[in-house]
Homo-oligomer: A and B are copies of this chain.
Amino acid sequence: MDDHLTATEKSRLRRYHERGHFDRATINGILDAQPMCSVGYIIDGCPYVTPTFQWREGNRVYWHGSSASRALRNAKDAEVCLTVSILDGFVLARSGMHHSANTRSVMLFGKAVKIADPEEKVTKLRNFVNGLFPQRYDTLRPDHPQDLKATMVLGMDINEGSAKIRTGDPGDDEADYDLPIWAGVIPVTMQIGTPVPDPRNLEGVELPEHVRNFRLE
């Protein structure tokens, strides 16, 4: 779906080498590349955008938080918008107008459903941890029942949404390519650093594979 774009916007997007992507593989690829997302709720008639982590299982996306969270309690059975955006570069053109950013983003729309069943909730949280750090959840101190009660897990089917991707060089007006102005791209990447062990780790506890090999995408 892309009905939030007017015809003018669509044509402008094309001009900027941007494309709306609606195929599931593209959407999944962006969701899987970046757990950080922004979830938009409506509380008392006002928009409310909270940063959180999302994870995907097949055709569903999940996120979680405190059961006491006003935003999450409001989100249950309500319309939400979940947006993931990745900045890949600053695009410097020959006019201010054509400055842009290389980005990958996904917007998903739908009703958030609360995962009420305690066993399903544990399964989802396990999948969340193990999705980022394979098999880690199974090495941890098992969740206390009160921890699970304090945690709300929400899910949403991936039915309505779109991805937008911009890559490559600036798209300047043809006449402007004759100007002696430096144009190009300043790339941006997310760098995973060297793991910092907790000073309270027990002696002899080794860095696990799921930390050593941690990568996104």
Contact = CB atoms under 8 A, between A and B. Distances in A.
Interface of A: 4-6, 8-9, 12, 36, 38-43, 45-51, 53, 66, 68-71, 79-83, 85, 87, 89-90, 92-97, 99, 101, 103, 105, 107, 109, 125-126, 129, 132-133, 136-137, 139-144, 147, 150-151, 169-170, 172-173, 176-202, 204-208, 211, 214
A141 to B, nearest CB: 4
A131 B200 CA distance: 43
- How many monomers of this protein are in the complex? 2
Contact of A183 (B87, B99, B189, B200): B200
Given A39-B49, A40-B40, A184-B196, 13 more contacts: A12-B150, A36-B101, A40-B81, A41-B47, A42-B45, A53-B101, A94-B141, A95-B143, A96-B129, A96-B143, A185-B195, A186-B192, A187-B192
A5 to B, nearest CB: 7
Contact of A5 (B70, B83, B181, B192): B70
Main secondary structure of the interface of A (DSSP, over half): mixed
Contact of A69 (B9, B97, B201): B9
Contacts of A5: 70
Contacts of A51: 38, 83, 85, 103, 105
Contact of A211 (B83, B92, B180): B92
Nearest to A6: B68
A21 B133 CA distance: 31
Contacts of A182: 197, 201, 205-208, 211
A172 to B, nearest CB: 8
A156 to B, nearest CB: 12
